[in-house]
Amino acid sequence: MKTIFEQSVAGREGCWPCEGAAEESYIPKELLRGGEAGLPSVSELDVVRHFTRLSQRNYSVDSNFYPLGSCTMKYNPKFTEVVAGLPGFTRLHPVLPQLRGAGGLCQGALEVMYEIEQLLCEITGMAAYTMHPMAGAHGELTGVMLMAAYHRDKGNKKTKIIVPDSAHGTNPASAATAGYEVVSVESKDGIVDPAALEKVLDDEVAGMMMTCPNTLGLFERNLPEVVRMLRKVDALLYYDGANLNAIMGKMRVGDVGFDIVHWNVHKTLATPHGGGGPGSGPVGVSDRLVDFLPISRVRKREDGRFFLDYDCPKSIGYVAPFYGNFGVYLKAYAYVLRLGGTGLRRASENAVLAANYMRKRLSGHFEVPYDRICMHEFVASASPQAKDGVHALDFAKGLLDRGYHAPTIYFPLIVPEALMIEPTETENKETLDKFCDDLIELAELAKTNPEALTSAPVNLPVTRLDETRAARSMELTDDL
């Protein structure tokens, strides 16, 4: 398909933003650019057709079952878009609260921030939240900065952060970004092994980052033991909220001893992923970390009015220019109000039910390395099939051909040929069954006609793409 630049015709005009072409130049010539930028000159209809056609070359939750493990691709209710589009929110300039009196102009927005913080506190059992981090990884970085501030304040000399080998890649990257040495701890039987932890735990450990259930979809049974061990060396425990969709109303991370937690609002609280973002990664903390939260904090006065508090002397400072992705967590707020406590608990129950059902249905046809009760997702493996030359990647492509998005196949790194499947609570049984039937059929096909899988996909706009060529030729724009 041609790019929009290839469709450009000199002199063709699109939408006019306003009348009055100011001809007078207020800026000396030497400060102006040498020529035009080369943005497309196309009609509005050209634009509409182009992007409509592009959209049709995408799989999405609205059009396809999307069991992409660890990404919680649940249905995103449409009414939340209406909420986020209310002009009373979209037109609000972010510096208003800094204008003293004019802070009174944004009471509704501050109330949203205050209320969602309260709700997240209660759902996870934490003392306070910041809504500022703009994605899960941003929440992780904020969390690790909070750890650093806590230890600096106490005069602790800490240099290391422990990350289980099953963790998402963002965990070690976030710890390193904040200046820590990363220490990996091996899992045993799919979960953190206290004996292995003992070996790497010492006084220099600032904290540990845990995902629970972990990326294998397994509940970390040894959690209470891990908490006791970390407390002994004054290390903090971080909860990676990527998999919070499994435990809402079933366990509160604050109650069990976590000090820091981030949410992936774009997973658990149903805000759309937008092809990679924007997300929102609020961070909650236990009592001992409240003073270190980013500037500013939303507060409620006795008269019921809200204001932002910028006087936070122990704070880690600013992780965002303002208050994070307000337009995103506004949708999450609407979602939580809609579901309520019972709805959230049921969401987790149904997500776990669906995952276990699929695990059982598939376990005779694929290897399931940890074939016991899982939480909201599970990891199957195409290792047996790989011996005959059909890899997890080939099953992924075969599924694309049948109209499904593929499971996650690039991690967890500790399972070879991983197929990480997360159905979420919003899919009905018919969809789950059809997917399992089709995947089982693919397993049969791998025996009878492996070629059909290794050459897949054939029903999509393109067949397999040459990634090596992309990396070598570096065509990163229409001009290179």
Partner 1 sequence: MLAVIGVDSVDDLFAEITEEMRPKSFDIPEGLSEMEVLSKLEAMAAKNATDRVSFLGAGFYDHYIPAAVDALTMRGEFYTAYTPYQPEASQGTLQAIFEYQTAVARLLGMECANASVYDGGTALYEALMMAVRKTKRRKVVVSEALNPIYRVMLGSYTTNLDVELVTVPYKDGQTNLDGLKDALDDSTAAVLVQNPNFFGSINDFTELFAAAKAVKAVSIMSAYPVLQTLLKTPGEMGADIAVAEGQSLGLPLSFGGPYLGIMTCTKTMVRQMPGRIVGRTGDTEGRTGYVLTLQAREQHIRRQRATSNICSNQSLCALRALVHMCALGEQGLRRAARVSIERAHACAERLTAIDGVDMLTKGPFGNEFAVTLPVNAFEIIDKLTERGFVPGFPLGRYFEGLENGLLVACTEKTSEEQIGIFAEMLRGALK
Contacting residue, 196, 233, 251, 452, with partner 1 by CB under 8 A:
251
Q: Which residue from 146, 236, 289, 328 is in contact with partner 1, where contact means CB under 8 A?
A: 328
Q: Which of 116, 319, 368, 445 binds partner 1 (CB under 8 A)?
A: 319
- Of residues 132-161, those binding partner 1 (CB under 8 A): 134-138, 140-141, 145, 148
Among 65, 116, 117, 123, binds partner 1 (CB under 8 A): 123
SS3 (DSSP) at 239: strand
Give the separation between CA 255 and CA 108, rounded to whole angstroms. Answer: 31
**Of 67, 354, 415, 65, which Cα lies nearest the Cα of 215?**
415
Nearest CA-CA partner of 120 in 307, 349, 280? 280
Task: Provide, rounded to whole angstroms, the least separation between the CB of residue 227 and partner 1.
Answer: 10
Q: Which DSSP helix (H) or strand (E) runs through 114?
A: helix 107-124
CA 261 distance to own-chain centroid: 13
Torsion angle, alpha carbons of 66, 72, 78, 80, to 10: -160
Judged by DSSP in three states, 365 sits in: coil
* 325 near partner 1, rule: CB under 8 A: yes
The region of 56-64, 282-290, 418-426, 440-448 touching partner 1 under the rule CB under 8 A is: 56-64
Which CB, 199 or 338, lies closer to partner 1?
338
Interface region with partner 1, contact rule CB under 8 A, candidates 53-61, 193-201, 232-240, 377-385:
53-61
Residue 255 makes contact with partner 1 by CB under 8 A: yes
Burial of 179 from C-beta contacts in 10 A (0-12 / 13-18 / 19+): exposed
Are the C-beta atoms of residues 233 and 203 closer than 8 Å to each other? yes
Shortest Cβ 366–partner 1 spacing (Å): 16
State which of positions 396-455 bind partner 1 (CB under 8 A).
Answer: 396-397, 400, 405-406, 408, 410-411, 429, 455
Residue listed under structure tokens 């109330």: 111
Among 116, 223, 379, 420, binds partner 1 (CB under 8 A): 223
225 touching partner 1, by CB under 8 A: no
Does the protein bind partner 1 through residue 51 (CB under 8 A)? yes
**Contact between 362 and partner 1 per CB under 8 A:** no
Site for partner 1, residues 271 to 310, rule: CB under 8 A: 272-279, 294
Token pair listed for 353: 């039910």
Q: One-letter amino acid identity for 160?
A: K
Site string for partner 1, 75-114 (x = CB under 8 A): -xx-x-xxxxxxxxxxxxxxxx-xxxxx-xxxxxx-xx--
What backbone torsions phi and psi does residue 419 show, to the nearest 5 degrees? Answer: -125, 100
Minimum Å gap between C-beta 432 and partner 1 is 9
Of 328 and 387, nearer to partner 1 (C-beta) is 328
- Region of residue 403 (left: phi > 0; alpha: psi -120 to 50; beta: else): left
Cis peptide before 63 (omega within 30 of 0): no
Minimum Å gap between C-beta 186 and partner 1 is 15
